[in-house]
Amino acid sequence: MLTWKRSITLAASAALLFAACGPNLAQITEDLIAEGRNDEAIARLNRALVLEPEEPAYKRLMGIALYNKKLYSECVILFQQVLADDAEDDQAAYYLAASYEALRDYNRAIQYYRLYNELTFFGEYKELVEARIKLLYRQQLEAEAQRALQMEQQLDVARIPNNTIAILYFENKGQKADLNPLQKGLAEMVITDLAKVKSLKVVERIRLHEMMQEMNLGESDLVDQRTAPRLGKLLGAYRLVKGSFFELTGDKINIDAFVARTRTGELDVTTNITGSMQDFFRMEKDLVFKIIADLKITLTDEERASIMEIPTENFFAFLQYSRGLDYEDRGLYTQAYQAYSQAASSDPNFSQAKSSASSAKKVEQIVGTTTETSSGEKSTSENSSTTSQSNSSNRSGSAKSVAPSVAPPPPPPPPTTNSSAGGGSGTPGGTGFGGGTDQAMERATQSSNQITNTTIPGTGSNTNPQTTVISPLKAPPEPPN
């Protein structure tokens, strides 16, 4: 007759043998989730978490099941706990990003998408996530522009830091309409160069674009003496740079600009530069240095050398790149890809054109192929589908870009780290990372410094969830298995 101790030993051995031969709970729930039986998976995991409340694999699976049921606020809590156990868990970072995106908290979504890209090694999928970040950032700026207009009466220009500056589009005062793309291209160059001055805080061009869209402004409205100060106030810019260009006889071109204070309209800088088209890029540098000198800013040698860098000396390549900027602003990513590709083809050393072409192609994979109708509107369609929709309306002669209506992104590729049930969390072998939440949050925050540094003074913090209703993005293609 067996003793009670012997019976317990045999029972334990049988249980271990069954566990070794049959699927464990994690495998069972993974299969249930894959089959769409999320409620069954949640029921099993609820019982398991009562017995093993700290098991990260169960929390992760529970989070995925809740995510599939669109219970985003609940799954956010679980994935935060998973990252607390393992700061290297790339899947937890991805699901946090996707959940925050669904909750329209674009800033946190961008933070965790960037953290995911830092942790994962799936190169192709990383590029798709970067494209998604780009689209989300535009949506974030659109929401901020709407919020700024709602709070316009509360904005105090006197509280805007005096080192903030916005560069408006340059006006084409000449007769050559084919130079119109330079209106944005030249502004982008000036913005890029002034942003290299550490003592200045420069408003991004896409932030200007989104604000113009919300104010229903066309490019011609920027020269209005009443419009510009209001625009500067909404952008949180202490100074505004306004300029124009026009062709002269031969291959000569004239560029002029002035810097005015938003609050008083007082001019700080007026400058005029004339030269040949071949010297266009050198002329832009002279313009930037003139603005800096008149603002009485002392440059470091490093800043000066950085500003002197010229992305391309091929005028046609830059013109095509500028055209790509305009297409991208209008949500025409297929056309933007073509324009950027032409720029890169004209100058193989034009690295910015190459990277912009690659980015536009990835965005196209998310939103579908874009076409421009005869009325100037934009439509998008899935590459593998016959459905298409019109997403834009005419505003002052140009199409307003509207994000396509789409579902949340699909699950990410398998995790880079191994956190299976019974093995603990961390790297293969069960080595854990204690205090992972602080590490993960620190890395996510560091990866989004560029975003948090662009908060519009007087319009609230970017870290607050967005309440403005904006169409979500289309899901990217299925990730690799």
Q: Taking residues 228-251, what's their average pLDDT?
A: 87
Question: What six digits make up the tokens of 252?
Answer: 């000569």
Q: What is the CATH number of domain 311-411?
A: 1.25.40
Q: Distance of CA 434 to CAs 93, 115, 267, 269, 447, Å?
A: 17, 18, 56, 55, 21
Q: For the domain made up of 155-269+279-309, give the CATH fold.
A: Rossmann fold (3.40.50)
| Model confidence pLDDT, tens digit, residues 27-61 | 888 889 888 899 999 999 989 888 888 888 889 89
Which of 294, 279, 280, 277 minimizes the C-alpha distance to 241? 294
How does pLDDT run across 20-33, given as a tens digit for each residue? 444 688 888 888 98
Cα–Cα distance for residue pair 58/31, rounded to 1 Å:
13
Range ranked top by mean pLDDT from 6-20, 157-171, 416-430 = 157-171
Neighbours of 22 (CB within 10 A): 9
| Range with the poorest average pLDDT among 54-68, 208-222, 360-374, 460-474 | 460-474
Least confident range from 10-14, 178-182, 265-269: namely 10-14
* Domains 25-147+412-452 and 311-411 belong to one CATH topology: yes
Question: Which residues have a Cβ under 8 Å from the Cβ of 8 and sit 6 or more positions away?
Answer: none
Annotated domain spans of the chain: 25-147+412-452, 155-269+279-309, 311-411
- Residue 460 CB partners (closer than 8 Å, separation 6+): 147, 151
Q: What is the mean pLDDT of the chain?
A: 77
Q: What b/e sequence results for 436-467 when a residue is b if at least 16 CB atoms lie within 10 Å of its CB, and e otherwise?
A: beebbbebbeebbeebeebebbbbeebeeebe
What is the structure's pLDDT at 473?
A: 53
Both tokens assigned to 232: 């500067």
Mean pLDDT of the 104-128 span = 88
Percent of the chain past pLDDT 70, that is, above it, reads 71
The CA radius of gyration of the chain, in Å to the nearest whole number, is: 27
Helix (H, G, I), strand (E, B) or coil at 242: strand
Q: What angle do CA 400, 128, 37 make, to 5 degrees?
A: 105
3-state secondary structure of 270: strand
- Whole-number pLDDT of residue 441: 52
* Backbone angles phi and psi of 398, in degrees to 5: -130, 155
Residue 127, pLDDT score: 86
* Residue 357 pLDDT > 90: yes
Q: What's the rounded mean pLDDT across residues 3-21?
A: 44
Any idea which residue has 């709602």 for tokens?
150
pLDDT bracket for residue 390 (50, 70, 90): very low
- Domain 25-147+412-452: give its CATH architecture: Alpha Horseshoe (1.25)
pTM score, whole prediction: 0.74
Residue 466 banded pLDDT, cuts 50, 70, 90: very low
Q: How far is CA 405 from CA 226, 438, 469, in A?
A: 36, 35, 12
- 427 DSSP 8-state letter: B
Question: Which pair of tokens denotes residue 27?
Answer: 């495998």
